[in-house]
Structure 1
Amino acid sequence: MKKVSKKEILKRIRDAGVVGAGGAGFPTHVKYDAAVEVVVANGAECEPLVRADRLTMQNHPREVVLGMLYAMEAVGASRGIIGLKAKYKDAIAALDEQIQLQKVADRVSLFKLDDFYPAGDEFVLVREVLQRTIPEFGLPKHVGAVVSNVSTLVDVTRAIEDGRPVTTRLVTVSGAVKNPATFEVPVGTPFSSLILAAGNPVVEGARLIIGGPMMGSLSPDFAGFVSKTTSSLLVLPENHPVVMRRLRDRKRQLHLTRSACLKCMMCSELCPRNLLGHDLYPDRIMRNIAAGVAEDMQAYTGAYLCSECGLCATYSCVMNLDPCAVNVELKALLGKAGIKRPSEPRETRSRVFGDVRHVPALRLISRLGLKPYDLPARSAAFTEPVTFVSIPLKQHVGAPAQACVKAGDAVVVGQLIGEIPKDKLAANVHSSVLGVVREVTPEAVLIDVK
C-alpha cells in the first residue's frame, strides 16, 4: 500500500471518475470526504443470478483489500469489514490470504452472511455486520460507517496506485442464453455484443432486464450500452413471470388493490425496511387504498421509505398484487401533490424477530421461476469485435459530465472525455477504447473503435 494523504486519495479517485459500482453510482470522492469509524465493503451480491461481485473478490482480492485500506485512510476509519456470503468459499479463501499477506488482520476482517435476500441492501448489510440500524431517511454515516461495493474498491486501488480511470466493467450475462458468463468489457460496449458473447438467446421473443430479476429494469430492446454501474444483463422469455410483472400497469394495481387485497399483513411482516423498524407498512397502504381512505397520511408517506426491493410483490403477497408498484405510484402522486420526502433522519430500532424472517435466496429463485437459470456464469474472455462504444455522460448520481471532446477527435483509452461541471455533484468520464469520436450528444459520446 502506498503512503498517500487523504487529500491526494480523494483527488486521484475524483480524477479517475470512480463511482459506486453497486447501484446508483454516487461519486466516491464525495462519499469518502467524511469522518467515520468503520468502512463496510459490500460483497453480498444483492440480486439473484448476478456473479460480478463474487468474481471480483475471487479474482482481484489484492485490489479489494488495498481499496479497503485506502478507503479507511480517506475517512479516518480504524477498521474495515468485508461483508460477503458464507457460500462464497473461493472468494473467502482469496481475501483471507490477501489480508494475511498485507498484515492487516488486526484492522480488516470478513463478515460471512447467510444466503438471503436482500443481504446486499445497504441498510440490511449495515444491520447484519455492525448490529446498528441506519435511521429512517438516513445514511450509513449516521451510524459511523461508509459502505462501498467491492468493485468500487478495486477501482479505488487502480486509481491510486496506477492512475487508472474507470474504463471497464464486469457484467454477468445470464438467463435464457446459451453460455451464461461474466465478462470484463469496456464501458460503452453494446448490450447486443455481450449477449452475442454469451451465445445469444435460446428462446424466441426474448426480453432483456438490465440488472437483476428483483430490481432490474425491463429494456424495450437490446440496444443499450454498458455503464460503470451495469452489473448484470438477464435474458428471459417474453412470457416469463419476471418479465410480465414489469409489464403491469401501475395505475391498474391501485384498482386491483381495492378489489383483491386480503389485508393479511404478509407484505409488512416480510418487508426488509419494516423489519429494520422503519415506519413502512405496505399492508396499511394497501388497506387504505382498498377502503378509499385518504386521511392516513403517515401510512402514505411511509412509501418514501420503500427501497423497491420487490419482495412484497414476488414473494409475500398471496393474491399476486404488487405493493411495491403501488409504493412507486404513491411516491409519484405525493410528489405531484407537493408532499415531499422527509429529509431529517429518524431513529428506529430493529424488530426482535427480524433475523428469523429472512427470505432464503434459493427459495426466492424457485418462487421467481429462475431455478433453471441459476448457473455459475463463470469469468470468460470477451472476444466479440466491438466497432463502436457509446459512453454515457451521466453514469452517476448528480449532474451529467460536460463533454470535453468533439466529433473527429482521436482518443485513447483512459483519456478524459467528460469532466465534472463547476460546483456540481458529478463524476469524470473517460474513453474506454482507442478510436475517433463520431458524435457528441447531451447524453453520450460515441466513439468508433480503431
Structure 2
Amino acid sequence: MLAPEAAGSNTIGANRGRLHQVSHLVQTFAEVAQKGRPGCHGVMRRHACWVLTLAGLCVAGGLAWAVLGPLTNTLVADMPESSDAGKQAVTITGTRQALLLATSGAVATVTLVFAALTYYLNRRSHHLDRYDKARTQLHDSNKSSDQLDAIYALSRCLREIPTERDRILQLMGNFLRGLLQDVPRERTGGQNVDPPNDVAIATLLAIGAQPRSRNLYALHLKQKQLRGVDLRKARLPRANFRGSWLGEARMDEAKLRRASLEGAWVQSANLYRANLRESNMKDIWLAGAYLMQAKLQNARLIYAHMEEALLIGANLKNARMSGSNLVRANLSSARLQGATLDGVILTDANLRKANLKNTRGLTADSLLVAKIYNSTKLDKPLADNAEVKSRIRECEGGAKRTHGLAEMLKTWRNK
C-alpha cells in the first residue's frame, strides 16, 4: 500500500506523461499541416484542424480533472492538518479556485494559439487552392482570357505564398518559353514573326517583378522570338536574351542591369533611358536603335553593331567597345570617359559635345573619319594633334554651311 504522498506523486507523473503525449501529437499534426504540398493540402489541413480541436478539448478536460482532483489533494496533503473541518474545507476551496484561475488563463492562451494556428492553416489552404486552380487553368485552357486570369492569380500567389515562390516561378518560366517561338537559323525569318501575345508579355512582366535572386531561371529566354515586344518600364535584371530577336521592341526605361544580350538582334528597338549597366552585349545588333540617355556604364559592347544608332546623351563610362561599329551613329553629348575604344569604327559618327577624355585605345586615325567639333572633349595629346585640329576645322566649316543652307531654306519657305 502506497503512502498518500507517493500515490499523489505517481498520479501527477502519469498526468504529465499524458499531457506530454497529447502535446507531441498536436505538434506533429501542426507540422504536417504546415509542410503540406499542393494537391493534398486541403484534406490534410481539414483533418489537422479537427485533430487540433479535439486535442485542445482533451487538454482542457485533463487540466480541469487534475485541478479538481489529484493536484488539489496533493497540495493540501502537504499542509498541516487542522481539527477544524470548516477551515480545512475553506483551504481546499481556496486552493481549487486559485488553480482554476491559473488553469483558465492557460486554457485561454492555448485557445488563442489554436485559433491563430487554425486561421493560418485555413488561409494557407485557401491560397494553395487558388494556386492549384490557376495552375490547372493555365495548362488546360486555350483561351487567352483564361490564361491571363491564371497569370494574374499566380502573381498574387507569389506574394501570398513565399514558400512556393520558386515553384511558381519555374511554372511560369516554363509556360513562357512554351509560348515563344525559337529564333530560326536564318535571322531574316524573324521579320515575318508576329510579336508575342498579351499572355506572354503579362507572364514576362510578372516574373520580372519578383526579386532578381529568384527569377534567374524563369527569365532564361535564350534564342527566343520577341520581335516588337512591349516592355516599357519593365523590371528584368539579369534576364538572359542571348541570341534572341528583339527587333523593334519597346523597352523605354526598362531595367535590364546585368542582362545577357550577347548576339541578340535589337535593330530599331527603342531603349530610351534604359538601364543596361554591366550588361553583356557582345556581338549585339543595335543598328538604328534608339538609345538616347541610356545607361550603359561598364557594359560589354565588344564587336557591337551600332550603325546609325541614336546615342545622344548616353552614358558609356568605362564601357568596353573594342571593335564596335559606330558608322553614322549619333553620339552627341555622350559620356565615354574611361571607355575602351581600340579598333572602334567611327566613320561619320557625330561626336558633337561628346566627352572622350581618359578613353583607352582611341587613336587619331579613328577620329579623322568621325565628325568632331570644338565642343568635342578630347585628351590633350589628341586635341593637339595637327590632323585632328584640321578635321575639327573641316567639320566646323561643314556645320556652318549646313546651318546657312537651313536658314536660307527657312527664309524661302516663309516668303
After TM superposition, the score normalised by the length of structure 2 is 0.18
In terms of fraction of residues, the more strand-rich structure is 1
Greater Cα radius of gyration, structure 1 or 2: 2
Q: More helix per residue: 1 or 2?
A: 2
**TM-score, structure 1 length as denominator?**
0.17
